[in-house]
Amino acid sequence: MLSRLLISALICLPQLLAAWGANGHRVVAQICYDNLTPEARIRVDDALGDNYLAQVSTWPDYIKAEKGWDFAKSWHYMTVQPDETPSDVAIGNQRKPKIDDVREGIELMVDILKGNAEARGRMTDLLAENKLEPLAGSLDATALAFLIHFIGDVHQPMHVGKNRDLGGNKISVLYFGERKNLHSVWDSGILEHERLSYTEFADFATMHTRARKAQWENAPLAEWISESIELRERLYNTLYDRTDRETGLPEFSWDYQHDFLPVVEDRLAAAGYRAAALLNGIYK
């Protein structure tokens, strides 16, 4: 069983393409936990045992270093080309036997937590085939960790990306004078530049977004994906306006931070509220 000490050690490992970075995922989990009903909170606590939701929210990224978990790597993102819709992608995936992307990953975890025998059997078989143990010895804990993480992933616009640039990983930019890629700026750059703990950021994000909580939590999964695509295209469009003639690279500084920090707050808060609404519905 993973102890709090082991989870804390995992937190210190290098990031492995984590959408929002470790703190971003913790922000989503904290907002989610703060908005759970008493009944749902009891069920989540029981499933996780000696672990916290904010701690296990980063676990799905750390296990990418283990070869046995390779089958779950594609569950963290979704590729939607400019000439496709999320529905096109979903229809194409239905023809394939395996779980292909973050949308299907979320749906599988929801079914597991609802007690769907087929979904639970499918995940149990995957673990057995790859000689893996579930998180904290529990299929429910495993599904909770994946679910809270994937909901964060799908709200990061570069995780609903285009394959030609690997969701912005191939697009170089200067962020406060440091060469990064567009994906990493959105994974962690904007968030970490604020120098806040995940609990502080969660407090600020919810304070600024409470009025939209009901609107966000009632939106279906397809709408979450469409929101990320719309924002993704907005981010691509900003590249041309900010490209420096001398460096040939888009340059992001205080103006970019000013413009997009509220957007990051919105996406993290929406993810947290929606995760809570989903779990409240499952554990009612």
* Domain that includes residue 54, residue range: 1-284
Q: Is the pLDDT of residue 171 over 80?
A: yes
CATH number for position 237: 1.10.575.10
The pLDDT confidence band at residue 163, using thresholds 50, 70 and 90, is confident
To the nearest whole number, what is the mean pLDDT of the chain? 92
The structural domain count of the chain equals 1
Q: State pTM to two decimals.
A: 0.92
Mean pLDDT of 214-231: 96
Query: What does the alpha-carbon distance between residue 177 and residue 24 come to, in Å, rounded to a whole number?
Result: 23
* pLDDT the model gives residue 96: 85
Confidence of residue 230 (pLDDT cuts 50, 70, 90): very high
The pair of structure tokens assigned to 226 is: 């469409």
Q: What band does 194 get if pLDDT is binned at 50, 70 and 90?
A: very high
Is the pLDDT at 17 greater than 70? The verdict is no
Give per-residue pLDDT as tens, 113-131: 999 999 999 999 999 999 9
